[in-house]
Structures are given as structure tokens and as C-alpha cells.
Structure 1
Amino acid sequence: MGTRVSYPSEVKLKAVEMRLAGVPVKEVMKELNIRNRTQLKTWMRWYKNGEMHRFEQPVGKQYSYGKGPEYENETVKLEEENRYLKQQIEVLKKYSELERKWYQK
């Protein structure tokens, strides 16, 4: 088992930009000295999911470092929480509607 490598956030973002520009995976890995193609796939997934805060996190701390995204102020944090809770309510409404249809049959 090898040692963990910590890539600077600039390297991660450069790799994502190169991939979005259509540069082949092997070429990106060679130019930026990235050891594993799975790492590049992970960075691409983070970028596509909008999880930009993960690029700044140290190795092995992706799930505990900072406990999520940093917010500019309390208002932005509350707006995000409100949006999330509204989505949860919508899911529950859809489920209850489906459940009602199942029991009608």
C-alpha cells in the first residue's frame, strides 16, 4: 500500500479544467504528476456536483473537515437550510401521493 499524496487545490482545479477542455486522462495525469486516474474522476465528480469546498480539504478529511460548506453569513446559511427543508417536504408530499395511489388499487 502506498503513501497518500496531497495535491494542492490549484493542481486539482487545473486537472478539472484540462479534462473539461477535452485533454485525455493520461495526458493530464502525466503533465500534473497525478498517480491515479480514480483521483481525477473524484475531482470531476466534486466539480460537477458543485462541491468546490472539497478541493481545499486535506487528504482523508473529506467527510469531517469543516462539517460541510462555509457560508458567507448567517442569512445565506439559513436560506440554504430553508431550501433543503422545502425539498424534503416536496419529497414527502410526492411519496404520500404515491402511497395513496397504491392503496386505492
Structure 2
Amino acid sequence: MGTRVSYPAEVKVKAVKMRIAGVPVKEVLRQLNIRNYTQLKTWMKWYKNGEMHRFEQPVGKQYSYGKGPKYETEMERVQAENRYLRQQIEVLKKYKELERKWYQK
């Protein structure tokens, strides 16, 4: 796999505006030194969907950055965290039981 490249938000916005202005894709890629057409395609999709906040997100965080659940009260947040931790404990208990069965054989 190749290394990930992080483009500044200004480059992303400029690339989208150049495409909207009618500049050919190859020219946009060459001028702004963008590696892949699909990257530009993704930015165009975000722009058309009004997801401008995504231009500011770090590489690899497009789906989770700033998308965490919002809680009305601190109590709701604590309850949700409790549920999550209980689920983690249950998974570990199941794994421990499976591990015990494997070693008995």
C-alpha cells in the first residue's frame, strides 16, 4: 500500500472551484499536484452534498471526525458509556470461555 497524502483544505476547495469553472481534470491534478482523480471526485461529491466540514478533516477520519453522538445531559453520556463498557465485558467473557474450551481439548 502507498502512503497517505494529506491535502490542505485550501487545496481541496481550490480544486473543486477549478473543476466547477470548467478546468479539465488532468489540468487540475497537474497544477495542484494531486495524485489521483478519485480524490478530486470525492471532494466534488462532498461539495455537491454540502459537506464542506469534511475538507477540514484529517486523513482517515472522514466518517468519525466530529460525528460522535450528542447527549442532552451528562447522565445520558454516562449511561451510554456504561452500556458500551458492559458490552466490552460481555465480549471478553465470551472469548475467555471459548479460550478455556480450546485449551481443554
TM-score range, shorter chain: 0.5 to 0.7
> How many angstroms apart in 2 are the aligned matches of 1:33 and 1:49?
25
The aligned counterpart of 2:44 is 44
The aligned counterpart of 2:93 is none
Percent identity of equivalent pairs:
87
Q: Does 1:15 align with 2:15?
A: yes
TM-score computed with the length of structure 2 as normaliser? 0.63
> How many angstroms apart in 2 are the aligned matches of 1:25 and 1:54?
21
- Could you list the runs of 4 or more consecutive aligned residues of structure 1 that deviate by over 2 angstroms after TM superposition? none
Cα root mean square deviation, aligned: 0.9
> How many angstroms apart in 1 are the aligned matches of 2:56 and 2:39?
15
- 5 Å-filtered alignment, 1:50-89, equals 50-67=50-67
The superposition leaves residues 44-67 of structure 1 with CA deviations (integer Å, 9 ceiling, x where unpaired) of: 000000000000000000001111
Structure with larger Rg: 2
> How many angstroms apart in 1 are the aligned matches of 2:8 and 2:42?
15
SS of 1:41's equivalent? helix
SS of 1:65's equivalent? coil
SS of 2:66's equivalent? helix
> How many angstroms apart in 2 are the aligned matches of 1:45 and 1:29?
17
The aligned counterpart of 1:25 is 25
> How many angstroms apart in 2 are the aligned matches of 1:7 and 1:54?
12
> How many angstroms apart in 2 are the aligned matches of 1:29 and 1:10?
14
The superposition leaves residues 65-89 of structure 1 with CA deviations (integer Å, 9 ceiling, x where unpaired) of: 1117xxxxxxxxxxxxxxxxxxxxx
The superposition leaves residues 14-54 of structure 1 with CA deviations (integer Å, 9 ceiling, x where unpaired) of: 00000000000000000000000000000000000000000
Number of aligned residues:
68
TM-score computed with the length of structure 1 as normaliser? 0.63
Structure 1 unaligned segments of length 5 or more: list them: 69-105
